[in-house]
Chains A and B, each alone.
Chain A
Amino acid sequence: MNKINFLQPDKSNLYTYLYTGVILVTISIFIVFINSFFNKDLTFFLPSTISFLLPLILGFIGLHLIRVDYSGLKFLDTINKNINTSSFNAFLSLLIVFIVIKSLPPLLSWFVLDANIAGDSKDVCTGTGACWTYIKIWFNRFMYGMYPNAEQWRINLSFIALAFLGTIGFFATEKFKKYLTLYYVVIYPIIAFFFIFFFISGGPIFFDFSYGIIAAVISVIIGFFIPPKFKMYYFIIVPITLYILLKYVFFYEELIELGKLEALEWVETGAWGGLSLTFIVSFFCLIFCFPIGLFLSLGRRSDFPIIKYISIGMIEFWRGVPLITVLFMSSVMFPMFLPEDMFIDKLVRVIIAISLFEAAYVAEVIRGGLQALPRGQYDAAKSLGMGYWKMHILVILPQALKLVIPGIANTFLALVKDTPLIFVVGLLEIVGMLNLAKTNPEWLGFAMEGYVFASVLFFIICYAMSKYSYNLEQKYKTER
């Protein structure tokens, strides 16, 4: 048996150190645990300062004793390597463990144990915990804003349909894979636009929506018989022609009455709100800001001085001002720039403003990718006789965009997080609805619950987006 030196634990008396250390750490954690969960002070007989610091001191000594390098026990080595490399680290680890144990009971009791969810009025919320009843009662308002209750199925249906159409890419067979880009860049946004503007807002325009759907379906069917050479022109010209034909030639308004189709009730955009508005605004801005940003970034790198400086001006202007002033501009200044009789819907103005704003950021991100490509790629493409557009579409952009996936994802995340700012123009998405509900005289004093609820929602959405972008990045990573 060697001499036991408690100041310098070593391997020869491993188990002595190990048992003493583990017991000390366990005692310290136990004291904190009892103190926090059962509110009992086990060391009440000591002076208050010592009693307060005792668990920390015990745990510190305990961790010091089990800090034995290369002990040969796998478990012990893992612990030492990860949380116990030095005295300072041991101290911080203990502090974190104690803080977690200390803060668990109040959090648990606020979120779950003392919280109320039953009932449907404020009176049931008597506990000291959260009042989830408030969220339950206002849930529809937080999700759909002032949209009439009876019509909310339209929003649900649109979102489900769009989500379904959006996942088509995963099921496409090899034969259709090459059309996917066209589908996602052109067709899908158009369908989404029809759905949201004509189906959710409803009104007599709903007929346009049905014409649009019919035109799209017919043109896709005919599309299979068209030689590939003309396909680009075909998909631009035919749907529009069909739509006009349907609307003005074949189907007169009276004919529609055949099916006794009652037009959907008109819901003005001012009544839209809640989380669905967050989705709508971020969805459209996302679709629009990407192509605008792409053109701006190409413009900034263009050889034509006029185009170059106009692009630089655009980008630097939007990047230099806060979004809130842009929204101010769209709501108070922009109407001054339009003819007297011309009126643009509030929501449309907001979407244009946010799209232009975010497009500048997207442009800078894409420019980073374009600059990162070696010159050889440009030279090689040119030496094959490719023109400007062909070179960019086939060679440069596919590589550059792959490089900037994380940057673009970050910009899109920023966009989603910026949508609550539309309260400036009086549109109430979920945060705006929370502030409205908070001031309701029947439901005063539940601000905390509302903000926690919205935070959790946003966290889930944004976290999922960032994880998805990470996957995308890994998937398209190519070794150079």
Chain B
Amino acid sequence: MNIKKILPQLLTLLVVILIFGFFSYNAQVNMENRGITFGYGFLSQESSFDVQFSLIEYDGSHSYFRAYLVGLLNTILVSVIGIIFATVIGVVVGIARLSNNYLINRTAAVYVEFFRNIPLLLQIFFWYFAALRALPLPQETEPMFGVFFLTIKGFFVPAFVWNNLDIFIYSLMAALISIILIRIYARKKQEKEGIQTPVLSISIGLLLILPLLSFLFGGVNASIEVPVIKQLSQSGFTYEGGIKLPPELISLALALSLYTATFIAECVRAGVQGVSKGQKEAAASIGLTPNQVLKLVVMPQALRIIIPPTTNQYLNLTKNSSLAAAIAYPDLVLVFAGTALMQTGRAIEIVSITMLTYLSLSISISIFMNWYNKKIAIKEK
């Protein structure tokens, strides 16, 4: 009996160990033949390659580790932009899918079916090589609202120049903390006395007033720097000042958010449909207004269904942002697993670091999700 339990496990373990042993033995032999020694010391060496677009100061004289950070930050940047837009589009389309207006419903359905069934890579290529290439040259661009310039060389937007930015951030943080406190207080009050506090209007007021106070009394002020056209050569123009969003970033963020939004829309639809009709009717029959029904009965239950798959989609979006390598947006894969790997030839170290980065990201999110699921799970008696 015991043997029957232990034998298959031992065999599996043996096979796994054999495979790993075989691989690592070969890796050792191969590296010896090529004269490479295994180690992560190269990370502090000078990288001597340049990256077009980076959020932190970086040039060839910095280390490989800093190149890794540049790539990681770019990945995070495009993921955050993509997640924000995908959520907005996804929620709107998801609600449109539930509309009883036939035209809106069908339009949303066509959007979902169309963008979901085309490979993401194809969409990225389409935006980058076909759609954005049709934009005008810098010198022929008509400004949008006078300050935005959408050109073939990128999207130029005005930048804020801040004085005393830290005080502004403190005021924002203070507003957020007081909102959280008020929410807790309001909930306690409702549980005890059954009186509802208008939390939403108070929160909006706080969010507006505290930063305003920082402008008035904290010495904070912001000026806007509008991009100005500048001639580089006979026919070469560009814009100076402001912030430049490269076309790679735009097309990547566009494709990622349009693609992921279709999945989020389906999650939202499934979530709202998953709340049974009886719940709404029961809530209405005890005299809640339609707004209260939505806020107190439908949304809490719908969110329980919506949030886990949506988080999964955020994770997918982050992993899909690695397709950036195809259009040369300098993300983690392109900068580190591409250029740095070419230069150092350290395939095992670099690929393993890249994979570990993504792996730790997704495992930490899935641990968080498991915790969250347990927390919100319906506690049955």
Q: List 20 A-B contacts (CB under 8 A).
A: A82-B100, A82-B101, A83-B102, A89-B101, A92-B101, A96-B107, A305-B9, A321-B319, A321-B359, A322-B320, A328-B354, A332-B347, A333-B348, A417-B118, A420-B119, A421-B121, A424-B325, A448-B131, A451-B122, A458-B118
The docked-state distance in angstroms from the alpha carbon of A303 to that of B225 is: 65
Q: Does A435 contact B (CB under 8 A)?
A: yes
Stretch at the interface among A9-17, A144-152, A376-384, A459-467: A459-467
List, in ascending order, chain A residues with CB within 8 A of B289's CB.
none
Q: Are B26 and A337 in contact (CB under 8 A)?
A: yes
| Distance of A275 from chain B, by nearest CB (Å) | 12
Q: Are B359 and A333 in contact (CB under 8 A)?
A: no
Give the interface SS of chain B, mostly helix, strand, loop or mixed.
helix
Chain B, residue nearest A421 (CB): B121
How many chain B residues touch A (CB < 8 A): the figure is 59
The docked-state distance in angstroms from the alpha carbon of A319 to that of B113 is: 25
Give the interface SS of chain A, mostly helix, strand, loop or mixed.
helix
Q: Are B8 and A83 in contact (CB under 8 A)?
A: no
Q: Are B126 and A96 in contact (CB under 8 A)?
A: no
The digit string for B115-127, where 1 denotes a CB below 8 A from any CB of A, is: 0111111100110
Q: Are A340 and B320 in contact (CB under 8 A)?
A: no
Q: Does B363 contact A (CB under 8 A)?
A: yes
Q: Are B101 and A337 in contact (CB under 8 A)?
A: no
Q: Are A451 and B119 in contact (CB under 8 A)?
A: no
List, in ascending order, chain B residues with CB within 8 A of A83's CB.
101-103
Q: Are A337 and B118 in contact (CB under 8 A)?
A: no
Q: Are B122 and A310 in contact (CB under 8 A)?
A: no
The digit string for B5-27, where 1 denotes a CB below 8 A from any CB of A, is: 10011101100100000111011
Q: Does B362 contact A (CB under 8 A)?
A: yes
Q: Does A418 contact B (CB under 8 A)?
A: yes
Chain A interface extent, by class = 35 or more
**Top 5 nearest A-B pairs by Cβ distance?**
A462-B117, A322-B319, A82-B102, A337-B23, A320-B359
The verdict on A304 contacting B8 (CB below 8 Å), with A82-B101, A336-B31, A420-B122 known, is yes
The docked-state distance in angstroms from the alpha carbon of A435 to that of B327 is: 11
Q: Are B122 and A458 in contact (CB under 8 A)?
A: yes
Given contacts A93-B101, A336-B348, A431-B122, 8 further A-B contacts (CB under 8 A): A304-B8, A306-B10, A320-B358, A336-B27, A339-B29, A340-B30, A419-B119, A447-B129
List, in ascending order, chain A residues with CB within 8 A of B113's CB.
463
Q: Does B294 contact A (CB under 8 A)?
A: no
The digit string for A330-343, where 1 denotes a CB below 8 A from any CB of B, is: 00110011111000
Q: Are B323 and A421 in contact (CB under 8 A)?
A: yes
| Distance of B107 from chain A, by nearest CB (Å) | 6
Q: Does B220 contact A (CB under 8 A)?
A: no
Interface residues of B in 168-182 (CB under 8 A from A): none
List, in ascending order, chain A residues with CB within 8 A of B366's CB.
316
Q: Are B121 and A304 in contact (CB under 8 A)?
A: no
